[in-house]
Structure 1
Amino acid sequence: MAAPAWYRLDNVGKFYASQAGSGNQTVFRLAATMRDEVDAEALQRALDVAIARFPGFNVCLRSGLFWHYLEPAKTAPRAESEALPVCFGLHTGPKSVLFRVTYYERRINVEVSHMISDGRGSLEFLKTLLAAYARERYGAPVSEIAYPGTEAAKTEDSFSANYDRAAAGGATQPKVFRLPGWKRDDDFTYLELHYSAAEVHARAKAADATVTSWLIAAVIAAIRREMPAAERDRAIHMDVPVDLRSLFGSTTLRNFFGLAFVSYTPGDADESLAQIAARVQRQLTDGTEPEALKRRMMQMIKLEKNPLLRLAPLFLKDFVLDIAAWKTAREVTCTVSSLGRVAVDEAAAPYVEGISALTSPAGLNFIVSTFGDDLCIGISSRFVSLRVARNLVRLLADDGITGFANVSREAAEIDRDLKEAQLEDRLLAAGAAWQQQKTRAPQREQGRVGRNP
């Protein structure tokens, strides 16, 4: 069956399309670390197989009068040696293809624009690519089971297909703590922390929590260390994307997720990691109930379904959607996602050592993925300082969990960042001391006035 002449963007894709051409494009990066150095020719043959199965990834963004849409690329994709920064923007013009496949030493990387898919959909593409690569490279007897659903089902806008305006509902937003610090407009920092999945699972089980809840609690504790005393009445507010495909029986590879939220207000006393994890787990249990997910999903797409916005020209839609995305980003402290335990074709699994995930950040993002005994926490940050990441590593080390890290920077760049972060720390300390002195000054002045009426 021939690929469609064009595809609609899903609801979330329309939001991200408003970023097209800017430096704020959101891109997912999924990487597989292989047993051996990558064979470029075998990878290209595998890519040909994967894109034949999922042609909806090989697309370009085009602009109509009222909406953006996707059009199949004129050329077949090429697997290339990695030469660009991590999560580098994919859209630079109407001929830009919205995904790329690269390799470096033992790594196979798939980068996908959030305009066309989310982490779960992109993972399905990577799994197919790895299975095909294992067959091409090693002659592995991988299965030929096709991804379920027709091409129309794989590229369905499941948000619109399941929209029910009456079910939409918002939630009260707490006073949110926003991380302070200098940010970069580009050249973000990407960090992978690798740990034993068995060790992390054991710590979570001891705290009577799931791995996701326990790791979110660890991130909360890491952020808490950066909160000034005057702001501890604000909430560390996180959004946690949740896959909606099983809930609605969807096989789409486009964006289809809802949001659960976790809020934690530290107050005056520091609770233990186990106590925080218990709070997180209760919130995630409630937030992932079907009715709660449906209510938030409908609220997410309510703006795009607004009749006035639908009739507005494209440039006005992009402006409104961009403002909405900016406002949403300010309502959270950070984002924590989990791909869970990743399973690839049994015949391909012996050739894969690990799976990691990153995304271009709005501020600070975490993505957790597990393959075998390798648990990877992918951290993406716009901040010059990596204080939160450092706090997280120390918290886990204090609990007896150690591993190794990969960072997207050369030694000279790390030295530069450390110097900038140290300067920022000194300025923040000086500012805090000045503010404290300023707070005390009126009291001394009042004393003098009292003595000398």
Structure 2
Amino acid sequence: MFRISAVLTEGVDPDALQQAADITIKRFPTMAVKLRKGLFWCSLHENNNPLTVRKESASPCSPIMGVKEDNGYLLRILYFGRRITLECFHALTDGMGAMEFLKSLVYRYLLLTGKEVQDEGVLLLPENPPEPQEEEDGCVRYYQKHAKKAKLEERKAHAIQGTVPEDRKTMVIHGVLPALPLRDYARRHGTTITGYLAAVFAQAILSSGSQQGRSPHPVRLVVPVNLRGMFPSKSLRNFVTQISVSLPAASGQTIDDMVESVTAQMKASVTEEHLSGKIAAYVGYEKMLVGRMVPWFIKKMAISLVSKRVYHATTALFTNLGDVKLPKSMEPYIEMIEVVPSPKKAASINCGICSVGGNLNIAFAGNIAEPDVIERFFELVSQQTGLEAELYSNGWLKSDKHSAVGRSLYPPYTAASEQSGGVRPIPVKA
């Protein structure tokens, strides 16, 4: 699961949001689907059930509960205070597809609440029927049979360790920074915002008190790459792949060393040859005749085994959806856009960033009680750039009780340590 949200400048009207959802879902047939399990495959089918918006009350990125609660949808639309949220199961779409849906939803909502907004040619609207290319499988389109298939990363990585609350709720900390000064700082150091912040994230993991000396293995960050940048496609389905960057656990590296290493690894991985190999690997597995003849329950076990290998080879996910393009007429009504990826099952922290209107929102999602890795991250950014982040969360920070921003954007949350009498440590093998 992952979530993207629009934080508005005024409170959300639930009735208008429901009307906007009813209209918007009809424009996105790739989103209006339900999952069916067959003998050999799971498949997506049209879903004509109502899509009901709900006031947010559960932990961010909670699992989809199925037909009873979500009417079979693999997405949900939530609201709380000034925030409109779209949560998606990643098999449905990627960040770009979800963002297109959210932008259209918010546009329709603003119209219904009397705001004078125009689409300005940058939105997908119900008045315009879906293009056939929106439903294409980009990987199948750009599959090259003879491309050198990329191999899975299997070497062990540093595992973030911490105390997992018994209720396993996802804790989120957001930090808001001015985008342009940060971009200029990154450029002066020969990198991008993604390259710089990924390096700082790795530095924070290696230098935070809870993680120091925990593992001899490198910090390995997985970075999603939007394939549409290399292979033009209008697909609203999943069309991303992942690259990884590694930094050794050995001490003595400066932040400049880390930035240089991360930037070089990203440049080497984001090439047409390498990404074609990623596509060839994905589609190759799907086209295997033996695989097609194997029942789904056996496929599921095989997928689980592969996932565990990839899991141990990953420290954290770091995703950047970039600068979100909105119609100029909508900008006065939207304060921020947030991207929140769900953490892994065991102790972990993942990061999602994006910007709109000059505000860069950096969201860390985790399932451990200790926030010191994130606090260390923002401390390092401040020391290095001179930029101070405005922080808010759903209860992970002690300062939340004094934060008007945190109180207005998240439901009241009582930590598991207060709610259920304690937290229990879950050991994670390094």
- Deviations 1:216-241, CA, capped at 9 Å, x for gaps: 11101101115544845x32111110
Do the aligned residues in 1 keep the contact of 2:28 with 2:130 (CA within 8 Å)?
A: no
Letter in 1 for 2:186: A
Bigger shift: 28-37 or 383-392? Answer: 383-392
Take 1:373 and 1:115, find their aligned partners in 2: how far apart are those partners?
Answer: 31
In structure 2, the partner of 1:325 is 307
Bigger shift: 382-391 or 358-367? Answer: 382-391
Match of 1:245 among 204, 215, 228: 228
**2:246 counterpart of 1:263:** yes
Letter in 1 for 2:237: R
**2:343 counterpart of 1:343:** no
Q: In the TM superposition, what is the alpha-carbon distance from 1:285 to its structure 2 partner?
A: 1.2
Take 1:386 and 1:197, find their aligned partners in 2: how far apart are those partners?
Answer: 24
**2:81 counterpart of 1:81:** no
- Deviations 1:389-432, CA, capped at 9 Å, x for gaps: 12112212323222222222357418659x978x969x99xxxx
Q: Specify every segment of 5 or more residues in structure 2 that has no aligned partner in the other structure, as ranges.
A: 396-411
Do the aligned residues in 2 keep the contact of 1:220 with 1:236 (CA within 8 Å)?
A: yes
- Deviations 1:334-378, CA, capped at 9 Å, x for gaps: 110000111112221211010001122113211111112211111
Match of 1:393 among 378, 382, 404: 378
What fraction of aligned residue pairs are identical, expressed as a percent?
Answer: 25
Q: Please list, as runs of the form range in 1=range in 2, the aligned pairs for 1:78-157 lying within 5 A after superposition.
A: 78-93=52-67, 95-143=71-119, 145=121, 147=124, 150-157=130-137
Instruction: Compare relative contact order (CA 8 Å, sep 6+) and give the higher one, 1 or 2.
Output: 2
**2:406 counterpart of 1:413:** no
**2:330 counterpart of 1:354:** no
| Root mean square deviation of aligned Cα | 2.8
> Residues 121, 389 of structure 1: CA spacing in aligned structure 2 closer, same or farther, 3 A cutoff?
same
> Residues 139, 208 of structure 1: CA spacing in aligned structure 2 closer, same or farther, 3 A cutoff?
same
Match of 1:52 among 21, 26, 29: 26
Q: Specify every segment of 5 or more residues in structure 1 that has no aligned partner in the other structure, as ranges.
A: 1-26, 429-453
Take 1:367 and 1:394, find their aligned partners in 2: how far apart are those partners?
Answer: 18
> Residues 29, 229 of structure 1: CA spacing in aligned structure 2 closer, same or farther, 3 A cutoff?
closer
In structure 2, the partner of 1:5 is none
**2:16 counterpart of 1:68:** no
In structure 1, the partner of 2:296 is 314
Do the aligned residues in 1 keep the contact of 2:394 with 2:413 (CA within 8 Å)?
A: no
Letter in 1 for 2:393: V
Take 2:141 and 2:185, find their aligned partners in 1: how far apart are those partners?
Answer: 41
Q: In the TM superposition, what is the alpha-carbon distance from 1:180 to its structure 2 partner?
A: 2.7
> Residues 110, 230 of structure 1: CA spacing in aligned structure 2 closer, same or farther, 3 A cutoff?
closer
- Three-state SS of the structure 2 residue aligned to 1:138 is coil
Letter in 2 for 1:392: F
- Three-state SS of the structure 1 residue aligned to 2:113 is helix
Take 2:360 and 2:134, find their aligned partners in 1: how far apart are those partners?
Answer: 29
Do the aligned residues in 2 keep the contact of 1:66 with 1:313 (CA within 8 Å)?
A: yes
In structure 2, the partner of 1:19 is none
TM-score normalised by structure 1 residue count: 0.80
In structure 1, the partner of 2:401 is none
Take 2:73 and 2:214, find their aligned partners in 1: how far apart are those partners?
Answer: 47
Normalized per residue, the structure richer in helix is 1
- Deviations 1:33-90, CA, capped at 9 Å, x for gaps: 1011112232223223321211221221111121111122232312222233211111
Match of 1:334 among 294, 316, 321: 316
Take 1:369 and 1:81, find their aligned partners in 2: how far apart are those partners?
Answer: 24
Take 2:255 and 2:131, find their aligned partners in 1: how far apart are those partners?
Answer: 45
Take 2:389 and 2:107, find their aligned partners in 1: how far apart are those partners?
Answer: 28
Letter in 2 for 1:413: A
**2:159 counterpart of 1:170:** no
Letter in 2 for 1:198: L
